[in-house]
Structure formats: structure tokens, C-alpha cells
Amino acid sequence: MPEIVVSVLNDRKELVNLTIKCDNNRLWHLGVLRRSTKPIPKFPQVAELINYYKDLLGRGNFCNVYKGIYNRPPDEKIVVAVKICHEGSASRGFQETKEARDQMLSEAQMMSYYVHNHVIEMFGVACDHPPILIVMEYCPGGDLQSHLKRMKEAIEAGERLIYSLEAARGMRYLHKKNCIHRDLAARNCLISARGQMKIADFGLSKLVNDLEKADAEQGESNEPSPQIPLRWMAPESLRRPMKFSTKSDVWSFAVMMYEIFNCGLKPWPDDPPKKIATAIRKCHMPPMPDGTPEEVKTLVSQIWLKKKG
């Protein structure tokens, strides 16, 4: 039966190798416990076993993110975040699992191109056997949206401007590298150990050339993807054929600034999707929250403009 060997730190901070085994019922367990006279924990997925023994940072439809230690030669220990792709289960078909794996590999490839103070760093990817793992920079401050909701009015306007500036620097770098993020939002900006903004979550990101090729192949049949969050989409991304560019990222950046000055709350919190889409297409965007500096209001109003003609 299949088995996986993982390197972990024990209670004495020593590096040890542990074997994760799969029994005849396709349940995973720690190999060192197989001779135990007591019942041992068993799990249908490797990710569930790791969740039982390690820190879970986040959970998604197709992957979980855990806190771990990366032992970088010669003797450096780095706290990292490890994204693990879910394996197939009775509730998830083969095609769905394959698409999740392909998306994770695409995201890992995309992240490997970028090194910048305001873009999340990737250390590597393990894809020689399932599950697929992406090892990346750990940001103890969590995501910006949660931070804004937690701290609320305690965050001064100057600090909110710094959040916006650092995110803008990260996005400018990505655009210079011909990367269209397509999912820029406060929830996808992380706060590093040094308090810096880090652009993260490249699951929907594309290179400019890839987008142009997709437009040529799909033409008028290009339908909006349900994965892409409606409130952050630009008007041209809600029409057929859909259009994504650096300009649509800039539009999303303005929506993120709305979040930043609204304590993490999204625009149109209770409106139905159809009404929101209509408002965006007509460029009928909500006014910036009270307390937003006039310069920021002016900047956002210049972004949320409908091109004449």
C-alpha cells in the first residue's frame, strides 16, 4: 500500500522522519503507531491527518493551508505556509480533483516568476506524488480583510494609506512582469512578520500573452467564470467577450481601497448579483466611506470612470 515520508520537528526541535501509511481500507495513519494496542487516528485524506497533528491556517474547497517549518540548508529554519491540494473523495470526482491539481501547479509556476517585497514569496513545490504541496512565505498578520474588520476604527487613515501604497507597489511589479492578477481584494493581501503588505493568491492569475490567446480562441462565447468575485470585477470583465487587463486590476484596486477605508466591509453587502453586475456595467459605484481622505476619493473617482464611446 502507498506511503509518504515527511520530515518534522519533534518536541526537542530535532528533525525526524515519519511515515504516513495507507491501510487496506484506504485510510491514512502514522506508521509509528501501527503497533499500538490502542485505537489510532485514521483519515481518508492525508490533509485530514496533517490537520489533526499540525496547525491549520486556512481551509478552501480544493486545498488547505498549514503552518510548517522549512529547513533550508545549511542550518536555517524558516516558518512557512504549506498549501496542500485535497485528494479525491467520494464527494469529489476525478475531473474535479484533476482541475484542482492543475490549478495549483499553474499557481505555483506563476508564483515562481516573482521576487518582490510586496508579493508573497514561494520557496518550492512538491508534485512528485500526491498530495501536491506549495511551500510559501508565512504571514503571521493574516489577511488584510480580517485585520481591517478586527481593528476597525483603531486604524488611522495614514496606516490605511500605507496598506494601499504597498499593495500598489506589489501590483505595479506584477504588471511590469506582464501578470494580470484578476482577483485583487483585501482578502488576498497578507500581512508579513514585518507588517508589510504581500499580494497573494495567484489562483486566477494569467500572463498577458495567455489571456490574449484565450480571447482569440474563445471569442464571443467567453462566459464569466463563477470563480471570479463579482464585486471586484471591472465593467469590461462583465461583458462578452470578457476582457481582463492591467486596467481591470486597477479597477479592482479601487474596490480594495473601498474595503480598506470601510473597515474590511465589501460594497453592496446585501444586494443580489444581478443588481450588482448592472451597477458595475453602468459604472454606478458606491461612494467612498466617511472618513476617506479627499485625495483618495478623487483617485478612486478617476479610476471608476466609463470610457466615452
Which residues, in sequence order, are CB contacts of 1 under 8 Å at separation 6+?
21, 22, 23, 24
Contact 132, 125 (CB under 8 A): yes
The SS3 call for residue 215 is: helix
Is the previous residue joined to 286 through a cis bond, with omega within 30 degrees of 0?
A: no
Q: Report the 10 Å Cβ neighbour count for 243.
A: 16
Position 271, amino acid: D
All 3 cell numbers of residue 69?
517549518
Give dist(CA 108, CA 59) in Å, integer: 18
Give dist(CA 243, CA 239) in Å, integer: 8
Which residues, in sequence order, are CB contacts of 15 under 8 Å at separation 6+?
7, 8, 9, 71
Contact 232, 252 (CB under 8 A): yes
Active site residues: 183
Q: How many CA atoms lie within 13 A of 150 on its CB side?
A: 7
Nearest to 24 by CA among 2, 48, 47: 2
Q: Buried (b) or exposed (e) across 224-239, using 16+ Cβ within 10 A?
A: eeeeebebbbbbbbbe
For the purposes of burial, counting CB atoms within 10 Å of the CB of 138, is it exposed (0-12), middle (13-18) or buried (19 or more)? Answer: buried
Strands 179-180 and 122-126: unpaired
